[in-house]
């Protein structure tokens, strides 16, 4: 660990500002084809929990759904510091683990599936329309978490990422590509987060 990394770590720990409890990271299938990509993922998990995160969400944007199974197999070999739950495009079981990974599970599809599930409950007489609120919708989502901080490497766009859950998230974009993402880049994201005043839509 370099001197600058230690300096950033000390600044973060000495600050009175909160650190994010839930951190989300957006990567692409192309990012995961780079050498060392999964080692960076393992390191990112460690950094997140070291600096106070209780939950980490990774969204893998894919153009070719054929790669989903390949990425799943690679994730089986990842040395994760906490329990890891992986969900793909066809999964509807809710993820409940300290580390949650979505592979090609778009936010629009996830939200539409949640609404469809509630509509089926109404049709079956199990739920009254007036009882549908934010909690009911969140109860149907595959990823029922609200990231405090979303980190996107490489480009300033979110793709189709957790459109419901991230509405009040703080977004951090860095020009650094995933293959070059280092501890100091993650700590810079945390430092930026600490310097913001969260408004939660207000």
For the entire predicted model, the pTM comes to 0.89
CA separation for the pair 95, 198 (Å, rounded): 26
For 113-144, the pLDDT digits (tens) are 899 999 999 999 999 999 999 999 989 999 98
> What's the gap between Cα 56 and its chain centre?
6
Average pLDDT, the chain: 90
CA separation for the pair 46, 116 (Å, rounded): 37
pLDDT score of 57 more than 80: yes
CA separation for the pair 202, 195 (Å, rounded): 18
pLDDT score of 60 more than 70: yes
With a pLDDT cut of 70, the percent of the chain lying above it is 95
Would the CA dihedral through 78, 39, 85, 65 be positive or negative? negative
Closest by CA position to 59, among listed 117, 18, 109: 109
Q: Rg for the chain (alpha carbons), in Å?
A: 18
Could you give the domains of the chain?
Answer: 20-201 (3.40.1180.10)
* Phi, psi (rounded to 5 degrees) for 158: -100, -5
For 77-120, the pLDDT digits (tens) are 999 999 999 999 888 889 989 999 999 888 888 888 899 999 99
pLDDT band at 196 (very low <50, low <70, confident <90, very high): confident
Structure tokens that stand for 80 in this block: 């994760």
pLDDT score of 199 more than 90: no
pLDDT score of 146 more than 70: yes
pLDDT score of 201 more than 60: no
Region of poorest pLDDT, from 37-51, 133-147, 150-164: 150-164
Question: Mean pLDDT over residues 159-166, rounded?
Answer: 79
Question: Mean pLDDT over residues 61-81, rounded?
Answer: 92
Question: Mean pLDDT over residues 39-53, rounded?
Answer: 97
């Amino acid at each position: 660990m370099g001197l600058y990394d230690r300096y950033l770590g000390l600044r973060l720990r000495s600050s009175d500002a909160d650190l994010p409890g839930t951190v989300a990271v957006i990567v692409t299938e192309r990012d995961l084809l780079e050498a060392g990509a999964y080692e960076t993922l393992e390191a990112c998990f460690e950094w997140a929990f070291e600096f106070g995160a209780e939950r980490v969400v990774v969204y893998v944007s894919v153009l070719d759904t054929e790669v989903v199974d390949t990425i799943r197999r690679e994730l089986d070999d990842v040395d994760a510091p906490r329990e890891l739950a992986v969900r793909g495009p066809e999964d509807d079981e809710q993820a409940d683990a300290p580390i949650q990974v979505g592979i090609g599970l778009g936010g629009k599809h996830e939200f539409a599936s949640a609404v469809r599930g509630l509509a089926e409950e109404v049709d079956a007489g199990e739920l009254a329309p007036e009882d549908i609120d934010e909690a009911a919708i969140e109860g149907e989502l595959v990823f029922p978490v609200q990231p405090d901080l979303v980190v996107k490497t490489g480009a300033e766009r979110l793709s189709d990422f957790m459109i419901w859950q991230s509405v009040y998230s703080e977004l951090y974009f860095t020009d650094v590509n995933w293959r070059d993402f280092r501890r100091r880049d993650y700590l810079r994201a945390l430092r930026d987060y600490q310097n913001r005043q969260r408004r939660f839509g207000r």
